Amino acid sequence: MNEILIADGKGRLGLRRQYFHLAWAPESDVDADDARASIEAMRSLSSAPRPLLLEIAGVTLSNPARAAFAHAQAASAVAMIGSSVVDTIMGAALSRHDHCPHAYFTSESEALAWLDSLAAQPAGNAH
């Protein structure tokens, strides 16, 4: 998978199979500019929304960053991967918008299986 660095190296974005894969560096503070940079990068890689595998372990997302992601609609589904109680809370905050399905996982293989299951559903049944 070819990756591009975004937000001054705080994040890496690439295409993995039919998915976007966005990994924020642990301990990163992601602000609205970082969020917009990742959204622009996703749009540069694909003109249509794609499922997103999002690694958020140990990451802090500002309220404006969460709002930018909520309104962007750059992804058709979001599987978030984290490892702590704080990551779980972050995942819950990110899943409040309903333009696409969201789920939180502690396992990459479970996250990918969930995204695969959504891809196998007929259009309109993914929520």
Q: What is the pLDDT of residues 53-99, one digit of tens each?
A: 999 888 988 989 988 888 888 899 989 898 876 656 666 555 556 67
Total domain count, the chain:
1
- Percent of the chain beyond pLDDT 90? 51
Does 125 reside within a domain? no
CATH number for the domain including 98?
3.30.750.24
Residue 35 burial class via C-beta count within 10 angstroms: exposed 0-12, middle 13-18, buried 19 and up: buried
The predicted structure's pLDDT at residue 85: 60
Neighbours of 113 (CB within 10 A): 13
Does 94 reside within a domain? yes
Does 108 reside within a domain? yes
SS3 per-residue string spanning the chain: CCEEEECCCCEEEEEECCEEEEEECCCCEECHHHHHHHHHHHHHHCCCCEEEEEECCCCEECHHHHHHHHHHCCEEEEEEECCCHHHHHHHHHHCCCCCCCEEEECCHHHHHHHHHHHHHCCCCCCC
Does 16 reside within a domain? yes
**Domain, as residue range, for 58:** 3-120
Whole-model pTM? 0.84
Does 52 reside within a domain? yes
Does 126 reside within a domain? no
Q: Among 2-6, 9-13, 91-95, 108-112, which is the least confidently predicted range?
A: 91-95
Does 69 reside within a domain? yes
Task: Return d(Cα 105, Cα 55) in angstroms, integer.
Answer: 10
